[in-house]
Structure 1
Amino acid sequence: MHPLPSRIALRPFGELPDLDLDFADRDRPRLVTDLLTQCAAGADAEFWWAQPVAARSATLLRLVAVTDAVRALPFSARCPACAEAFEFELELATLLAGADDSGPMRVCLDPGNELALRRPTGDDLRRWRSAQPATRAEALRLMLDDLLLEGQVRPEDETRLSAAVAAADPLVALAVACDCPACGAASEVPIALDDTALARLAARQRTLLREVHCLASRYGWSEAQVMALPPARRAHYLALIEAS
């Protein structure tokens, strides 16, 4: 039996097979699964497909942390009131808290109308993507049909239910309350955690490809030979090239 995702060891992104990952792939669930499978010790693709979406996102964030040696992620936003741009950070430890919770979400819409929903998994994302719903309403109905365990949902409940689910499973639909440092206006900033993590890992891949190109061009080494060098030695050779 696999341990909880938070207890699975991750290696930093940056080995030779990682250069093959296509960050332009529009199939994000598959890309995330491939990433986690390559960088996690002893957990195969089917394990990651079966994990809750929040656990997959949390593991992506952990992968960024071990790759970039960071404890917080920077974000930028623009105030809707005065249009001033500002920046803020989110601590990874705070984001990851509770990510292993896989129990049902319970939502009370009205007195006597309590719903229970299971948490969406990678398999759900794969199935919903394949279904290609034509409208947002059709997509929402498909998701509710899959996730609803107890209770009934009326069409007029869907907006409140969406907000309640986001609050119960914040890594799936995260929004951060911010006060503008310029005018003090309060706003909510939506955060796409998977997109943020993938963008950082894609940037790391581009850096590695530039390093391979530079060292291979100068020394005639193969891609595999360059990637076999420890990062510190690779950086030393690159510094020598830059200084020459």
Structure 2
Amino acid sequence: MHQLPSRISMRPFGELADLDLDFADRDRPGLVTALLTQCASGTDIGFWWAQPVSRRSAALLRLVAATDGVHSLPFSARCPACNEVFEFELQLAPLLGTAEAEGPIQVSLGPDSQVTLRRPTGEDLRNWRQARPGTPDVARRLMLDSLLLAGQVRPEDEAQLSAAIAEADPLVALAVGCNCPACGADSEVPIDLDDAALARLNARQRALLRDVHDLASRYGWSEAQVLALTPARRAQYLALIEASR
């Protein structure tokens, strides 16, 4: 596996090449890999395919933070007890800290049975997607078989092993305990961090395209010329355009 550099510099999303990324692409592992390869200095595509899923998710969150200047992400959930929708925020720093876990995952299935699993990587995500398993049970078996380093996986152990992976590597399958502000009921809300990060970067790309359209239409500048402007100067020109309408 490629070793993680001690510190990877992540530039904000928003350069000319970033406009070519297709956020409608259903190949999410490929999209995440392309994003991180473009925006993280000193890395290549092979590096990000080899990284554990949790580190890829953490890097994606760092990219959002570098782009939007945020320290938390907003989420909403519907209370299963009273059906009210409520909002909450997740701080990024604690999430990024959970991605530092390394080494195999040891799971005891009884006094004489132990299973050792490796942590899933981006390459695993690509392979599982290409395999196109027909049912969730087949998908779970495929995943566990490909992660198995030692021991035997019995069908009755699959749920426990999946839970062990989620506990040892929280960003792989994050769930947040929430208290409904309307009725007080407790619930666990599953969170798709990659989906949330990609949605913010997609919104950023759409905003950049609108900026390019407005400035190119008024001044005749190219995409490269528009994006070469600092965000502050770009905003000033856009404000002048808006004021003249």
DSSP 3-state at the match of 1:87: strand
- Residue 160 of structure 1 aligns to which amino acid in structure 2? Q
2-side partners of 1:122 and 1:12: how far apart? 22
Deviation at 1:203? 0.2
Count of paired positions: 244
- Residue 131 of structure 1 aligns to which amino acid in structure 2? A
Deviation at 1:100? 2.6
Q: Is the 8 A contact 2:13 2:67 kept in 1?
A: yes
Q: Partner of 2:219 in structure 1?
A: 219
Q: Is the 8 A contact 1:212 1:226 kept in 2?
A: yes
Q: Is the 8 A contact 1:57 1:194 kept in 2?
A: yes
Residue by residue, what CA displacement relative to the aligned partner does 1:41-78 show, whole Å, maximum 9, x if unpaired? 01000000000000000000000001000011111001
Matches within 5 A, 1:56-205: 56-205=56-205
Q: Partner of 1:49 in structure 2?
A: 49
2-side partners of 1:5 and 1:189: how far apart? 33
Deviation at 1:2? 6.7
TM score, norm. by length of structure 1: 0.96
Report % sequence identity: 75
2-side partners of 1:119 and 1:5: how far apart? 18
Deviation at 1:184? 1.1
Does the C-alpha gap of structure 1 residues 84 and 14 become closer, same or farther in structure 2, counting only changes over 3 Å? same
Query: Which one is further off, 215-224 or 54-63?
Result: 215-224
DSSP 3-state at the match of 2:196: helix
Q: Partner of 1:228 in structure 2?
A: 228
2-side partners of 1:200 and 1:208: how far apart? 12
2-side partners of 1:205 and 1:2: how far apart? 30
Q: Which runs of 5+ in 2 are unaligned?
A: none
Q: Is the 8 A contact 2:141 2:158 kept in 1?
A: no
1-side partners of 2:185 and 2:6: how far apart? 37
Q: Is the 8 A contact 1:5 1:55 kept in 2?
A: no
- Residue 135 of structure 1 aligns to which amino acid in structure 2? T
Residue by residue, what CA displacement relative to the aligned partner does 1:197-217 show, whole Å, maximum 9, x if unpaired? 000000000000000000001
Deviation at 1:5? 5.8
CA RMSD of aligned residues (A): 1.5
DSSP 3-state at the match of 2:98: coil
1-side partners of 2:95 and 2:112: how far apart? 32
DSSP 3-state at the match of 2:59: helix
Residue by residue, what CA displacement relative to the aligned partner does 1:77-117 show, whole Å, maximum 9, x if unpaired? 01000011111111100101131323111122333322210
Q: Is the 8 A contact 1:78 1:85 kept in 2?
A: yes
- Residue 7 of structure 1 aligns to which amino acid in structure 2? R
